[in-house]
Amino acid sequence: MSQPAGVLSQPGNKVSAAALRLLDGLLVRNPERTAIGVALGVAIDGIVGVFWPLLASRGVHLGRPDWWASVSIGLVVVHLPFVIWSIRNKPLINDELESLMQLIESTNIGEVEKRAAYRKLVNRCIDDFSLSNGPGKVKGILGSEIEAVRGHSD
């Protein structure tokens, strides 16, 4: 698998890209946290199961919640950082990279050129991370990249 086989056709490429986004959406972008969330939900269900008769015997009738409600609570708890991030609307990487990607997406170029632009962007970042000793260099290179793309789009 060192060299790409190039077996994905154009529709296959689109379908697999959409499927990946869909699956990530179902797993809320993080399979590990989702698995932990389900385990936590089971734990919450068990704890509620223990306290429920105790509370009922003392006159507090809250009702027995369904198992899926406990699992939902567990999932929300473990994904809380992601939920907060979504509310604050902060970029996942940094502002320059986000704006550069928005620029590529909104520029009226063909699909193939867009793909090449994304690959080029990732490759520039790989080069920069691999060769520099500090993280400060990323901004400078991305700045020039933004200028280059803006020049083309103008």
Partner 1 sequence: MIHERRLRIIAGFFIVWGCAIAMEAVTLSLLGGETWSRSNHVFSKLVFMIGLSCQLIFQGPSRSEVMERLRRRSGAEACRLDRVYLFFNIDRTVRVVIVVVLLWIVGALMGLVNGQGAWPLTGTAVFLALIAGLRTVVIFARVSAGRFGATQYEARELLVFLSGMYKSSQAQFDPPGRLRRLVEVAEPVTAPHNAQVAL
Q: Which residues make up the interface to partner 1 (CB under 8 A)?
A: 1-8, 13, 16-17, 19-21, 23-24, 26-27, 31-32, 34-36, 38-40, 42-43, 46-47, 49-50, 54, 67-68, 71, 92-93, 97, 101, 104-105, 108-116, 118-119, 121-123, 125-127, 129-131, 135
Measured from the CB atom, the residue of 40 and 149 that comes closer to partner 1 is 40
Measured from the CB atom, the residue of 36 and 76 that comes closer to partner 1 is 36
Tell me 58's DSSP state.
T
The minimum distance between CB 72 and partner 1, in angstroms, equals: 11
Measured from the CB atom, the residue of 89 and 108 that comes closer to partner 1 is 108
- Alpha carbon distance 121, 58 (integer Å): 64
- Give the phi and the psi of residue 133 in degrees, each rounded to 5: -95, -15
User: Mutual orientation of helices 95-106 and 111-131 as an angle, nearest 10°?
Assistant: 160
- Residue found under tokens 């068990």: 46
The two tokens of residue 138 are: 């990323």
Measured from the CB atom, the residue of 8 and 148 that comes closer to partner 1 is 8
Query: Quick one: which of 93, 120, 118 has its CA closest to 107?
Result: 118
